[in-house]
Structure 1
Amino acid sequence: MSIKFLKRIPTADEIIEQIPLPKHIKDIKEKRDIEISNIFEDKDDRFILIVGPCSADNEDSVCEYIEKLAGVQEKVSDSIIIIPRIYTNKPRTTGEGYKGMAHQPDPSKKPDLFEGIKAIRKMHLRSLCEFYMPAADEMLYPENYTYLSDVLGYIAIGARSVENQQHRLTVSGVDTPVGMKNPTSGDLSVMLNSIIAAQQGHTFIYNGWEIETTGNPLTHAILRGAVDSNARNIPNYHYEDLIRISNEYEKLQLSNPSIIVDTNHANSMKCYAEQPRIAREVLMSRKYDTLLKKMIKGLMIESYLIEGKQGIGENIYGKSITDACLGWESTEKLIYYVAENI
């Protein structure tokens, strides 16, 4: 057998016992959870911004960034709810490269998942305890969800995971809003089928148990653009794209039909500086059409303290080591623009 068992990873219960969520913070999170859910259920007309680094590689710089977000949140709270991105797992197309803090709590050192699990929980807890902001993370590994289930405010299923049966079934047992990205092929039926599956209840094997779920009515769509057979990026945030997917989505008569538009990835043609322009276009489309106004609940933006990206080992504090991000000044201006134009 070509598997080497290195060390036993503690169960979620053991990790949560070691790093618990304080009672008074739990109450704050529950209030925020209701606010976020109300937007997807059309009980609150505020707009959602899911904003932060491509990958959370350093607790101090990520939390310094979130502190800045928290200051802006106070000023735009009447019109926007900000959900910080704390993405602790990074999918890699070829399997090579930095896989996120869950794998490598220190990007310059070897993988250590035992310490990584503890590190990502501590970072999410710090965001909650210091800034009262439950964050978004990507469910790259469904079995890891339980380590963060009590601290997350939002979950995304990535373009490479959205067709996976275990992801769909696991989401059906999650209470948090979950966004399903369209696959890299751009096939919107894959994304919509994932939403259909996740909104239903299922019986399946999870973490060594036979479990039964009731379905997640807050599962919704994320548009991130596509890549064609010649590796060319194809955006899907233009008005015609948004109308087409909104009409198809509405026909399915699913619970809480909602769309989040990812302003980076294939939508930006991998040009991070285009994100403000894309956000402005989406807001204009949303103003122009009543169906889009109803459907488009928010934007996903990749941003960090310092714009661009760096290589591992360059050690520029607050600069992405994966996809390039907007810098803080551009991000702050963009948030205020969104607040004034939704």
Structure 2
Amino acid sequence: MAEALSSADIGGQCRTHSASTPEELLSALPLTGDAVRSVSAGRRTARRVLSGDDDRLLAVVGPCSIHDVNAGLAYAKSLRELAGELAEDLAVVMRVYVEKPRTTVGWTGLLADPALDGSLDLERGLRTVRTLMLEIAEVGLPIATEWLSPAAPAYLADLISWGAIGARTVESQVHRQLASGLPMPVGMKNGSTGSVGVAVDAIRSAAAPHAYLGHDREGGPVTLRTSGNPDCHVVLRGAAGRPNYRAADVREAARLLSAAALPTGLVIDASHGNSGKDHERQALVAREIGAQVASGDTDIRGVMLEGFLIPGRQELGPGEPVFGQSITDSCMGWDTTVEVLHDLAAAARRRRAVTAVAP
């Protein structure tokens, strides 16, 4: 006879802690009129650029992961001013990444560990992150984030104009289902091995309707039914020792998309595997991507950049951390980011001129 399981056996090693429901958090920190306009305009613009209806270049730029709210806001205010200057040629969206996927262990992001000390106070993290995103949206800057926890969109999706599914999760059925119901364009990164095919598969899956178990805004269990997301696209981010941002890589990605009867527009991540996580190399990669755009390549619809106020990265220690410097991947500093975005804007202008006279 099979041995009966106790409640402790079923629960395993998990312990539960109470958390606000999405309805409670959204009621406490509601969208303002300015935030609604920023999010809506950001989504609309991203869709038009990615579809090719708007000939600008999408520029998703910001810290690898935000760990300091004040530094994040300072960066946002500077980026908003720069975005206004370059608005004729670039559609700028700020990276506000608050969940950090890990191959093994490490700091998991502002949402899970806002105190940066391993205390994992998610209730505080939810409020910290939503407050930060509201302030950035109210500045008038569209927000991008990577979706990692399937529960997070219920608390934050109303603030996001562009989302990403990362290299570690692009093959996950859970994340493909999640993307199918998200109300914004979603970039599917190539797999951690470098495979673009898995991203193409993810786009096809996310474009279809799905039904899966989830929770409503009051926290109750429900069946979620999605209609499919038509605005998913490939993000080329390379792999260890295998960059994929060059012209031949773009052509091959476009071929795979076309073979799957999908639009060929894509985004290229100048960081991660394409730069070997070297912030100085990242600027060079971005300029090489810009050269392809300037030559008339219309499949490249966007570029992702990791930039913060201070270049490089730092390890957290007992002393006061450097204000505006990443604690995860190395980022370009502000001055370099300004130069790179101006170069990309010039590339978009050149592409506009080249394609206008093309037969």
Aligned to 1:149: 157
TM-score normalised by structure 1 residue count = 0.93
- CA distances 1:156-206 after superposition (whole Å, capped 9, x unpaired): 111001000010011111120100001111122111100110011112222
Q: Which residue of the other structure, out of 75, 84, 88, is the alignment partner of 2:85?
A: 75
1:279 corresponds to: 286
1:323 equivalent in alignment to 2:329: yes
* Matched residue, 1:92: 102
Task: Name the aligned partner's letter for residue 149 of structure 1.
Answer: A
Moved more, 25-34 or 133-142: 25-34
Kindly provide the amino acid, as one letter, of the partner of residue 302 in structure 2: G
Choose from 298, 311, 324 the match for 1:307: 311
Deviation at 1:68, TM superposition (A): 0.8
**Where does structure 2 lack aligned partners over 5 or more consecutive residues?**
1-7, 216-220, 349-359
Correspondence 1:241 to 2:249: yes
Give the RMSD, CA atoms, in angstroms. 1.4
Match among 266, 270, 295 for residue 263 of structure 1: 270
Deviations 1:63-82 (A, max 9, x none): 10111111111111101011
Q: Deviations over 1:222-274 (max 9, x none)?
A: 111013xxxxx2101111111111112122222x4421111111110121111
Matched with 2:176 is 168
In the alignment, the residues of structure 2 paired with residue 152 and residue 51 of structure 1 have an alpha-carbon distance, to the nearest angstrom, of 14
Deviation at 1:109, TM superposition (A): 5.6
Q: Which aligned pairs between 1:89-238 and structure 2 lie closer than 5 A?
A: 89-94=99-104, 96-108=105-117, 110-129=119-138, 131-207=139-215, 208-227=221-240, 233-238=241-246
Give, as a single letter, the amino acid of the residue that structure 1 aligns with 2:52.
D
Instruction: Tell me, yes or no, if the aligned pair for 2:236 and 2:267 is still in contact at 8 Å.
Output: yes
Tell me by how many angstroms 1:38 deviates: 1.2
Distance 1:196 1:49 in 2: 24
Q: Residue 284 of structure 1: SS of its match in structure 2?
A: helix
Counterpart AA for 1:133: L
Other structure's SS at 1:81 match: strand
CA contact (8 A) 2:143 2:161 kept: yes
Distance 2:34 2:133 in 1: 16
Describe the superposition over 1:257-308 as per-residue Cα deviations: whole angstroms up to 9, x where unpaired.
42111111111012111112111211222344x5xx2221111000100000
> Post-superposition shift, 1:17?
0.5
Look up the match of 1:297: 301
How far apart are 1:4 and its partner, in Å?
4.0
Paired with 1:25 and 1:99, the residues of 2 have a C-alpha distance of 27
Query: Secondary structure of 1:149's partner?
Result: helix
Report the CA distance shift for 1:248/1:287 in structure 2 as closer, same or farther (over 3 A): farther
Give the match's secondary structure for 2:167.
coil
Give 1:48's aligned residue.
58
Instruction: Indicate the residue corresponding to 1:32 in structure 2.
Output: 42
- What amino acid sits opposite 2:203 in the alignment? I
* Equivalent of 1:8 in 11, 18, 32: 18
- SS of the residue aligned with 1:242? helix
Q: TM-score, normalised by structure 2?
A: 0.89
Contact 1:124 1:134 in 2 (8 A): no
**1:45 Cα shift?**
0.8
Superposed displacement of residue 89, structure 1 = 0.3
| Conserved? CA contact 2:268–2:304, under 8 Å | yes
Does structure 2 retain, via aligned residues, the 8 Å contact 1:52–1:86?
Answer: yes
User: Distance between the aligned counterparts of 1:4 and 1:237, measured in 2?
Assistant: 42
Q: Structure 1 unaligned runs (5+)?
A: 228-232
AA of the residue aligned to 2:135: R
- For the residues of structure 1 that align with 2:38 and 2:312, how far apart are their CA atoms? 34
| Length, aligned pairs only | 331
SS across alignment from 2:298: helix
